[in-house]
Amino acid sequence: MHAPERWPFGDIESWWAWRDHLDRVQDLNIATLKREADCEIARILRCCESRWEPKRPARLVPGVSEWCGAKAQGLC
C-alpha cells in the first residue's frame, strides 16, 4: 500500500486507511510515517471546519463620529 496524495487531492478515508495500515506494518521509518499521516489527518480536519469560511471584511474607513471624535464631544 502506498501513501495517499495530500489533501485536497486525497480524501480523509484513504488517510485513515493508510494510518491503520501503518499500525500493522513493521518498518524502520514507521514512526515518521505515522507522524506524517497524523499531521495530514489533523490538517484535513482543521481545514474542513466551518471556522475557515470567509469572514466579512473589516470596515476600512472610519465613520464620521469615529473620525473626529464628535460623539465624544456630544456633537452627534
* pLDDT tens, residue by residue, 15-47: 889 889 888 888 778 888 899 999 998 888 888
Instruction: Find where cell 495517499 sits.
Output: 4
Query: Domain ranges in the chain?
Result: 1-54
Q: 58 or 27: whose pLDDT is higher?
A: 27
Q: Between residues 61 and 26, which one has the greater pLDDT?
A: 26
All three cell numbers of 44, joined, read: 484535513
- Alpha-carbon distance of 71 to 76, in angstroms, equals 5
